Copies of this chain bind each other. A is one copy, B any other.
Amino acid sequence: MRRFKKILVANRGEIAVRVMRACRELGLPSVAVFSEADRTALHVRVADEAVAIGPAPSRESYLRVDRVLEAAAETGADAIHPGYGFLAENAAFARACEDAGIAFIGPTSESIEQMGEKTSARRLAVEAGVPVVPGTLEPVAGAAIAREAARIGFPLMLKAAAGGGGKGLRLVAGPGELAAAVERAQGEALSAFGDDRVYLERAIVKARHIEVQVLGDHHGAAVHLFERECSIQRRHQKVVEESPSPFLTPELRAHMGALAVALVKRIGYRNAGTLEFLVGEDREPYFLEMNTRIQVEHPVTEMVTGHDLVQLQIRIAQGEPLPFAQEDLEQRGHAIECRIYAEDPDRGFLPSPGRLLALRAPGGPGLREDSGVYEGFEVPVHYDSMLSKLIAHGATREAAIQRMRRALAEYKILGVRTTLPFVDRVMRHPDFVAGDFDTSFVARLAAEPDRADEELWRIGVAAAAIRLLEDRRAAQHAPQPAEAAGSAWTRAGWRSQLGNRL
């Protein structure tokens, strides 16, 4: 068992901040790495130390194994936490850390390879007796794609072999769409993972996406921390997650947990990890893939189990044994996470980068926010559009939903469009409230008209008009320039908001 001296966090955004908080709570200093676009990013401000590693494109900074290892050497960091995305499931990076004598806070490079290559993971799962979705067990290319597609049948899912996070994922309804979808998926996969291999799976209709959180240590112990329900997705990316799943029976929960622990033990997995399953209407779980890293939606599990998964990752990497056994764990209450993206839900979730001109976040009981931004931050165009995660916990599912609605009502972000109004629609939708939904929920919702407050526009227009009147009068009577008239910072970024008389 070793004790780390300093941890470098090879990531950005909310997960980098999340990991640094865990470091600080464990009494460990943290080192941020940052690209040229991220000098003022929150993770740089929260870290104890910070090292610039390259230009804005992630390929030239956050994905540069050499730069990250140099930063660790330079700062004396003896462990690296990769967060999710970027280098988190890059076996070569894990191996490079191992070779450099730096602890990679994650599984062995071998586990990453086994599970990271999705077709290999499917083969191992089959060998371990875990059922998988029918499809190809190997990546396919060229003419074989059409042939295998015909064998499996439509609709089917086209997936990146090196994939994760919805990138390079395409639902193909029929043979006519196949060629275009393959081109798009390979392009996205190449750009996201540097690997354009794809494979095919039968699309499970009316499926729910349910995943199981696991932990394994260096001493052969493994537990599961129950499930997360992740069926609310747009563009095949999760927007809302919760735990427990309203769909699982206690028996199915125990069964899926046992399957997950069996696979973890079989591969000697050492870290937090997640096994993703599709569960069809017949309540039959099919293993999809295993994510060998912390998951975006890990907070819902933390809130219902009372344990800190990121601290546990670090402690496991130090060689500590798991501090609890399976029978010590229980789900208490219900937790829901809503992801806040800088996207415009009224325009097909188009990205909406820009400066966060004004921001008021909610507070109070049963609420957690894991944010990667702050008022005044310019959200870069180079990275993922997730700004923040809002998580609500309550004694019951209904209480958690009501709490989330209350929190969303308090939340205000101006300057970019966000998914706040969209997740509010989800929270008040009768099917969501009833727990009656599957992965097609978001598509169905988009087709329904939103019933917003019909008269609220009057308040909005009145507020704007009064503000204009007050601004005009103030400008007339302004005795002198106010607000340290245009520091470089003000001049560069806030011009449109400040000063210019209408």
Q: Which residues of A contact B (CB under 8 A)?
A: 17-18, 21-22, 24-27, 46, 299, 302, 306-308, 310-311, 332-333, 360-361, 363-371, 374, 393-395, 399, 402-403, 405-406, 409-410, 470-471, 473-475, 477-491, 498-500
Contacts and interface: CB of A to CB of B under 8 A. Distances in A.
Given A306-B332, A481-B482, A490-B474, A365 B360 contact: no
A24 B363 contact: no
Contacts of A482: 481-483, 485-486, 490-491, 498-499
Contacts of A480: 481, 485-486, 499-500
Contact of A399 (B25, B361, B368, B478): B25
A477 B484 contact: no
B365 A371 contact: no
Among the interface residues A306, A409, A488, which one has the most CB atoms of the partner chain B within 10 A? A306
A17 to B, nearest CB: 7
- Tallying the copies of this chain within the complex gives 2
A203 to B, nearest CB: 36
B481 A27 contact: no
B361 A363 contact: yes
Given A333-B306, A479-B486, A486-B477, A365 B299 contact: yes
Contacts of A25: 394, 399, 402-403, 405-406
Contact of A365 (B368, B474, B475, B487): B368
A154 to B, nearest CB: 43
A406 B486 contact: no
Given A18-B364, A363-B368, A474-B491, 20 more contacts: A24-B409, A25-B394, A25-B405, A27-B402, A299-B365, A306-B332, A306-B333, A306-B393, A310-B365, A311-B399, A332-B332, A365-B368, A366-B368, A470-B489, A473-B487, A474-B485, A474-B486, A474-B488, A474-B490, A480-B499
Contacts of A370: 363-365
Contact of A374 (B299, B311, B360, B409): B360
Contacts of A403: 25
Contacts of A310: 365
Contact of A368 (B302, B367, B484, B489): B367
A175 B285 CA distance: 78
A368 B361 CA distance: 12
B499 A483 contact: yes
Among the interface residues A26, A487, A490, which one has the most CB atoms of the partner chain B within 10 A? A487
A88 to B, nearest CB: 19
Nearest to A18: B364
Contacts of A491: 474, 482
11 contacts: A17-B364, A25-B402, A25-B403, A302-B365, A308-B365, A308-B395, A332-B332, A363-B368, A475-B485, A480-B486, A481-B481
A162 B499 CA distance: 54
Contacts of A367: 368
Contacts of A477: 486
A370 B46 CA distance: 22
Nearest to A371: B363
B364 A369 contact: yes
A464 B393 CA distance: 41
Contacts of A486: 474, 477-480, 482
Contacts of A470: 487-489
Contacts of A485: 474-475, 478, 480-482, 499
A395 B322 CA distance: 13
Among the interface residues A371, A374, A394, A489, which one has the most CB atoms of the partner chain B within 10 A? A394
A25 B395 CA distance: 12
Given A308-B395, A363-B368, A371-B363, A498 B474 contact: no
Contacts of A22: 365
Contacts of A471: 484, 487
A76 to B, nearest CB: 19
B406 A364 contact: no
A391 B307 CA distance: 17
Contacts of A402: 24-27
Nearest to A406: B24
A228 to B, nearest CB: 16
A499 B481 contact: yes
Contacts of A473: 487-488
